[in-house]
Amino acid sequence: MPRLLVASLAALCCSLAVSAAPPSTPVPDEPKIPASAFVSEAPKDAKDVAALKKTAKKGDTVVVRAKIGGRAEPFPKNRALFTVADRALKSCDEIPGDSCPRPWDYCCESAESKKANLATIQFAGADGKPLKVGAQSVGGLEPLALVVVEGVVSEVDDKGTFVIDARKVFVEPAKKKAGPR
């Protein structure tokens, strides 16, 4: 009998220890780019990057039309932002005979041209910093995609920095290339 009593007491102690454990700390939700940021119609009165950079000031609400690109990696890892280029610039895929492996990097453009024609689009959190999640593939965002973005200018300087906090993003449907007949 004492053996059964000892085993019962041991089982009781173990169950009490488990039930008295402090509750686990909840895991915070992973940041997400809100699906509501992506719209099915392009915001009106869009301007090109170069035109906006000449006149927009911090705090202005703007609408920009652009093409995703301007860097070898237009989508930094784990940051909800991407670079865009003025549509007047030709990406390497638009240059006959160019076989650039990353046609979205605009490697044929000068540094001065890039300074005048590139902008950064970000999905910012309450702290004003980009969300800590990648933006590539979200809502159709890919290198060379044509976009129209409505947002607020959060940073601008004479060194070429131009950052827009996105509020609405329209990704133009990709045009299907005609195949052989």
pLDDT in tens, the chain (181 residues): 555 544 454 554 445 444 444 555 555 667 899 999 999 999 999 999 999 999 999 999 999 999 999 999 999 999 999 999 999 999 988 888 888 899 999 988 999 999 999 999 999 999 999 999 999 999 999 999 999 999 999 999 989 999 999 999 999 998 765 555 4
Write down the pLDDT at residue 152.
98
* pTM over cut 0.85: no
Determine contact, residues 66/52, Cβ cutoff 8 Å.
Answer: no
Q: How far apart are CA 1 and CA 6, in angstroms?
A: 9
Can you tell me whether residue 108 is helix, strand or coil? Answer: coil
Q: Report the alpha-carbon distance of residue 75 to residue 98 in Å, rounded.
A: 23
Per DSSP, the three-state class of 47 is: strand
Q: What residue spans define the domains of the chain?
A: 35-171
Distance CA 116, CA 54 (A): 9
The CATH superfamily holding the domain 35-171 is Bacterial OB-fold (2.40.50.200)
